[in-house]
Structure 1
């Protein structure tokens, strides 16, 4: 691992740096236009805090002076479980943030479905965290590294977290496709719908990363399976990459709104329509065929009309 320590550290903190940059710009774009932060914003901030904590453990994990590379497998597993726990919280809360955002743009049927996603994703990642600390049946019951209680079979220790990661991937793809149902019933131009839909669907990348995590867990990935220590570090990197991508993906539509709004003001300060004006005008026909007028307090998911 000695040759990989520097790339791991640089790659990890560059990834975290991009996350805080996009999140800061998202918050700035709202506050600069006197837009109040909402629960989805707070959930993203909380997810980012978990990312930073998890990244701190990974950074210590990969540090040359940590001595972990020569430590026992129990110590490696302990730090890996801590990393995984914080990354699990970050993944759950970052996905919940996007689902919360979408609840403001849907009617009752869509909202119920989104709350189902929020509940099940958080429950799934709670089970994921518990499984990490569950004692394998091959380990003595007096081990202080695991939770007290019944032991977990080798199959359960693999199957439970694998099922959670695959379900997480499915929810990433579902949330990435969900906005298209909403956007396609607006009175926006088709080109605007496509552009905004793409901006809102970058979360599909998080789903791809979750699939990669599942591959790593099965030991199919030759890089992650090179050695016990090296494999655990690589898994930690992918664990933190998923919430990072989810956070960045959710900031893109808001930043797009800020950039297009400023461009329209610069081109024609007198007649250009701002996002707030467009938000007041757009109407979303939701799942049950009824109409839901989006107020100016809702999020920047509509694209301004082309002038």
Structure 2
């Protein structure tokens, strides 16, 4: 029966799973019907939520076997089942957190321009994936034989202490959250647009600061991993892991549904995008790329590739300042304008 602290933990986890699930259909709807472009980051985002869902299911099963109650108060078979299912759930949580942050990294790769931005994002994603997979493996391989990890009746020896690796993962997750939240303020500030729009877009892309705080709190609760009273002392860790994963999904999902919000609030008729944007080249000298919309009542997004300027005019964005392209920035009902770049030293 679900009793003790397990009731609170399971309740919080299902609430977090539901709140984050709201972002899944909203994001897919925005990508399919508003942006008309579904990318790899959308599939990775959905996969991360599936891992959160599986995490919640296995912890719920563990709760019915005694998770949240003192370990010495449980029958041996129930205690073994509780610890086993809890570790299975933690495996999905460890991998799910990395997958959610990788989803944001892939999204950022689609909108950054400078080479060092892309390299730093790739380093963050690959390193986080390696640490996450390593921690997930050590959850099961910390003792030999593996069954000794969750069954006290099996004699085994300690292979490696899991707590230091869990602290490393928690710290690295928080660091990646912080960097991914900080990066938009760097490259968005180089765009020539109204100050209020810069703040709005940068803030929507920087909600990861909230996930960073959750990750720090979760890391502090990692002491329960080495406790003899595993089923009760890990409740805080289980809750904050679910909160961090759910908050990460919500923070990652909010910027991607911004076009849907603008379409609902402002309607489908776009305003004129007769504006100029300035981007900086990857060299030490700045290069100014000027592109003027020649079609009224359309929104403009400009990218620079191989010495040419490619502008994508999307008829369904009212803002005139869309800077977040989909996987194929030029929708089927949009117009692509392509012209040579004129470089001016400034």
Q: TM-score range by the shorter chain?
A: 0.7 to 0.9
Mapped contact 1:39–1:100 kept (Cα < 8 A): yes
Alignment gaps of 5+ in structure 2: 151-155, 290-301, 304-310, 322-346
Q: Distance in 1 between matches of 2:241 and 2:313?
A: 34
Measured after TM superposition, the shift of residue 187 of structure 1 is 1.2
Q: Distance in 2 between matches of 1:194 and 1:87?
A: 32
Counterpart residue number, 2:51: 50
Counterpart residue number, 2:153: none
Counterpart residue number, 2:24: 23
Q: 1:218 to 1:67 in 2, by over 3 A?
A: closer
The structure with higher relative contact order (CA 8 Å, sep 6+) is 1
Asked if residue 206 in structure 1 is aligned to residue 201 in structure 2, the reply is no
Alignment of 1:225-264 (within 5 A): 228-264=230-266
Q: Given the two structures, how large is their TM-score scaled by the length of structure 1?
A: 0.80
Counterpart residue number, 1:89: 95
CA displacement 1:82-107 (0-9 Å, x = unmatched): 11110111111110111111111223
118, 136, 156: which one aligns with 1:129 = 136
Q: Distance in 2 between matches of 1:192 and 1:32?
A: 24
More strand by share: 2
Measured after TM superposition, the shift of residue 146 of structure 1 is 5.1
Measured after TM superposition, the shift of residue 133 of structure 1 is 1.3
Mapped contact 2:20–2:249 kept (Cα < 8 A): yes
Counterpart residue number, 1:59: 60
CA displacement 1:107-130 (0-9 Å, x = unmatched): 322111111111101001011112
More helix by share: 1
- Root-mean-square deviation over aligned CA pairs: 3.5
User: Which structure has the bigger radius of gyration?
Assistant: 2
Counterpart residue number, 2:296: none
Mapped contact 1:206–1:245 kept (Cα < 8 A): yes
70, 83, 96: which one aligns with 1:77 = 83
Q: Distance in 1 between matches of 2:66 and 2:209?
A: 37
Alignment of 1:169-208 (within 5 A): 169-208=174-213
Counterpart residue number, 1:10: 11
CA displacement 1:119-156 (0-9 Å, x = unmatched): 101001011112211234xxxx4453459x994344xx
Q: Secondary structure at the match of 1:144?
A: helix
Mapped contact 1:128–1:161 kept (Cα < 8 A): yes
Q: 1:128 to 1:281 in 2, by over 3 A?
A: farther
Counterpart residue number, 1:36: 37
CA displacement 1:192-232 (0-9 Å, x = unmatched): 11111111111111111111111001359xxxx89532222
Measured after TM superposition, the shift of residue 79 of structure 1 is 2.3
Alignment gaps of 5+ in structure 1: none
Q: Distance in 2 between matches of 1:150 and 1:290?
A: 62
Out of 28-37 and 48-57, give the one that drifted further. Answer: 28-37
Measured after TM superposition, the shift of residue 168 of structure 1 is 1.0
Q: Secondary structure at the match of 1:105?
A: coil
Q: 1:119 to 1:143 in 2, by over 3 A?
A: closer
Q: Secondary structure at the match of 2:142?
A: coil
Mapped contact 2:94–2:132 kept (Cα < 8 A): yes
